[in-house]
Structure 1
Amino acid sequence: MHWATLPDDTLAALRAGTVIPAHLLALDANRALDTRRQQALTRYYLDAGVGGLAVGVHSTQFAIRESGLYRPVLELAMRTVQDWTPLGGRRPLFMVAGLAGKTSQALNEARTARDLGYHAGLLSLAALSGASETELIEHCRAAAGVMPIMGFYLQPAVGGLFLSESFWQRFSEIDNVLAIKMAPFNRYRTLDVVRGVLAAKAQERIALYTGNDDHIVLDLLTPYTFVHEGQPVTVRICGGLLGHWSVWTERAVQLFQRIRNAARAQQIDAALLALDPQITDCNAALFDVAHDFRGCIAGCHEILRRQGLFEGIWCLDPHEGLSPGQAQALTRVHNDYPHLVDDAFVTKNLGRWLT
């Protein structure tokens, strides 16, 4: 499967830039998949106006693999996408499947995702700690031989590896790479990715997506201009694939449109810039920055529990939950930034999503 065989409208949507939330996982009190609420969550994302979904990624919990939930969760999301007519009608959706583990596991997951109809695999390298750059590239080439892949620069705090500009150049030279999610939570390392793509002369093929939940607005507003072969070349981060966008998603879609309109018009006002630290403040509470991201998934679950989409905040790991003070932090940012939350939208539509 090659990216050139993807539907034209789907590929165009990815490259134009869109909102892709990292799909969360709804569990019941026995930590089993809550199919009804998982389906409701997918419907919520679709009605909020997203342009794609990322399923089986960090926010979906990597432990779905050991729990035997990888295929069922991916299959349920795809079936819901196919069956649900979103508010405003159907539109092209770019479906991303998380790929993890060593090469044999990643290839098996890629085959599963491809057979279920996913368009690309988001390739995590966390399981290859200690591998050489060449070994990492060979792993990526193997996965790209199964389906189109999206690179993933995962921050070290949650298991990511340091990946140099040289790595990103070599990665970008793989023909079946069509996008990169940059989530090192580090400005220097984000620039390494951009410069690597330019060095590979792959900026027309590879769509850049922010995964830097601590820098969303400025990542999307900033033109990245570098001198390449003696000439200035400008690229932009065209969209986001974000755990932060797994909640308050309707407002995320609205914000993305506002940012894109401002960037196109080259009219960026102070009020838009002021949203950047506000969103980062919200993210600090959601992702539990005060405790080194230990409650990052539970924090997102808590927002959905308060809205009624989730019954509880259970994670597959029974030791994973909110950190001390995190609930109070979530209440504070919710109250401080009502323009960033979508409670009214969820309340209005919750009944139909849970049907």
Structure 2
Amino acid sequence: MHHSQINSEVRRSIADGTVLPAHPLALDADRKLDIAHQRALTRYYIDAGAGGLAVGVHTTQFAIRDVGLYRPVLELAAETASGWTKRPLALVAGLAGPTRQAIAEAETARGIGYHAGLLSLAAMKSASEDEIIAHCEAVAREIPLVGFYLQPAVGGVALSANFWRRFAEIDNVIAIKIAPFNRYRTLDVLRGVHAAGALDRIALYTGNDDHILLDLTLPFDLRDGSGTTRVYFKGGLLGHWSVWTKAAIAQFERCKAARHNDTIPADLLALDARVTDCNSAFFDVAHNFHGCIAGCHEVLRRQGLMRGIWCLDPSEGLSPGQLEEIDRVYHAHADLSDDDFVAANLHKWLA
């Protein structure tokens, strides 16, 4: 499947930039799929105004592959979305593992109707750059790719600007989620895409949950012998946006509106730090992100969108002191939540 075959409205939405929440996994007390709450999450993101969904990604838990849930979870999200709205939505499937596995997952996702695959390279840690590029090229023959620079703290691989140049030269790459949580490595991706001459084809999406609003607002000037090219992040594909999504979309629209103004409002710049403060609690920065999935679950549990914070791995949960940190940011930044929106609609999402 080539990106030219994607529904034109969906392709334009990805290219122009949109909000793509990283879809969590709702489980019951027996750590089995909770279908009612999983559907409710999908409906929540759609009604909040998200431009699409990223399913089978880190926030969905990579372990779904080990318990036979990869296909069922992708199917459930796609079926729920198509039955809930006629609005075109970008469906992005997480792809992981060595080449054979990633290709099989790409085939599965394409067959279900997903438009692109977010390719994790965590399984390629011991591979050379040439081997990783060959891996990406093989998967790109099956489905359009969204590149993924995952931060090393949660299993990512450090990658050079030259790697990102070579990756951007793959014709079936349509976007890159840049999430190294590192300014230097973020610039490496931008430089690589620019060097490949691929900025017109590849949309830059922030995954830097520690710097969301500034990534979405500030210009980046890339300079070479021919002059200066100014680029912007077009959208976001974020685990942080799996919670308080309605409010996050309003923030995204403010960032888009401010991009081309000579003066960016100080309140918008200051809001970046407030969002980062919330993320520090939800993502468990104090414990090197150990509780990042459970932290997001806790916010959704409080809203009634999940029944509990269970993860597939019983050892995954909130870290010591994380609950208190979530309490703190919940009170300090209550205006950034969308609790009222969820409360008003939860009954229909769970119906």
Rounded to whole Å, the distance in 1 between the matches of 2:304 and 2:315 is 23
Show the counterpart of 2:151: 155
Rounded to whole Å, the distance in 1 between the matches of 2:265 and 2:246 is 22
Rounded to whole Å, the distance in 2 between the matches of 1:352 and 1:194 is 42
Show the counterpart of 1:295: 291
Rounded to whole Å, the distance in 2 between the matches of 1:56 and 1:31 is 17
- List structure 1 segments (4+ residues) > 3 angstroms apart after TM superposition: 264-267
Rounded to whole Å, the distance in 2 between the matches of 1:228 and 1:205 is 20
Show the counterpart of 1:115: 111
Show the counterpart of 1:259: 255
Q: 1:178 aligns with which of 174, 177, 186?
A: 174
1:103-150 Cα shifts (integer Å, max 9, x gaps):
000000000000011010000000111100000000000000001001
Rounded to whole Å, the distance in 2 between the matches of 1:296 and 1:112 is 27
Show the counterpart of 1:129: 125
User: Is 1:141 aligned to 2:151, yes or no?
Assistant: no
Show the counterpart of 1:350: 346
Cα pair 1:153 1:160 within 8 Å, conserved: yes
Rounded to whole Å, the distance in 1 between the matches of 2:148 and 2:218 is 20
Cα pair 1:22 1:54 within 8 Å, conserved: yes
Show the counterpart of 2:96: 100
Cα pair 1:288 1:326 within 8 Å, conserved: yes
Q: 2:219 aligns with which of 205, 217, 223?
A: 223
CA deviation after TM superposition for structure 1 residue 266, in Å: 4.0
Larger displacement relative to structure 2 (225-234 or 117-126) = 225-234
Secondary structure, aligned partner of 2:276: helix
Summarize the alignment of residues 203-218 of structure 1 with structure 2, pairs less than 5 Å apart. 203-218=199-214
CA deviation after TM superposition for structure 1 residue 228, in Å: 2.7
Could you state the TM-score of these two structures normalised by the residue count of structure 2?
Answer: 0.99
Aligned residues: 351
Cα pair 1:209 1:240 within 8 Å, conserved: yes
Q: Unpaired runs of 5+ in structure 2?
A: none
Show the counterpart of 1:191: 187
Secondary structure, aligned partner of 2:260: helix
Rounded to whole Å, the distance in 1 between the matches of 2:241 and 2:208 is 11
Q: Identical aligned pairs, as a percentage?
A: 63
Secondary structure, aligned partner of 2:103: helix
Show the counterpart of 1:10: 10
CA deviation after TM superposition for structure 1 residue 231, in Å: 1.2
Rounded to whole Å, the distance in 2 between the matches of 1:178 and 1:305 is 34
Rounded to whole Å, the distance in 2 between the matches of 1:265 and 1:180 is 25
- Name the amino acid aligned to 1:49: G
Rounded to whole Å, the distance in 2 between the matches of 1:7 and 1:71 is 22
1:218-275 Cα shifts (integer Å, max 9, x gaps):
1011111111332111111000000000000000011101111111344411111110
Show the counterpart of 2:57: 57
Secondary structure, aligned partner of 2:201: coil
User: Is 1:202 aligned to 2:190, yes or no?
Assistant: no
Secondary structure, aligned partner of 2:117: strand
Q: Unpaired runs of 5+ in structure 1?
A: none
Show the counterpart of 2:276: 280
Rounded to whole Å, the distance in 2 between the matches of 1:255 and 1:91 is 21
CA deviation after TM superposition for structure 1 residue 32, in Å: 0.3
Secondary structure, aligned partner of 1:38: helix
Rounded to whole Å, the distance in 1 between the matches of 2:190 and 2:87 is 29
1:321-349 Cα shifts (integer Å, max 9, x gaps):
00011111001101101121010001000
1:178-202 Cα shifts (integer Å, max 9, x gaps):
1000000000000000000000000
Show the counterpart of 2:315: 319
Show the counterpart of 1:81: 81
Rounded to whole Å, the distance in 2 between the matches of 1:40 and 1:299 is 19
Show the counterpart of 2:28: 28
Cα pair 1:198 1:228 within 8 Å, conserved: no
Could you state the TM-score of these two structures normalised by the residue count of structure 1?
Answer: 0.98
User: Is 1:244 aligned to 2:240, yes or no?
Assistant: yes
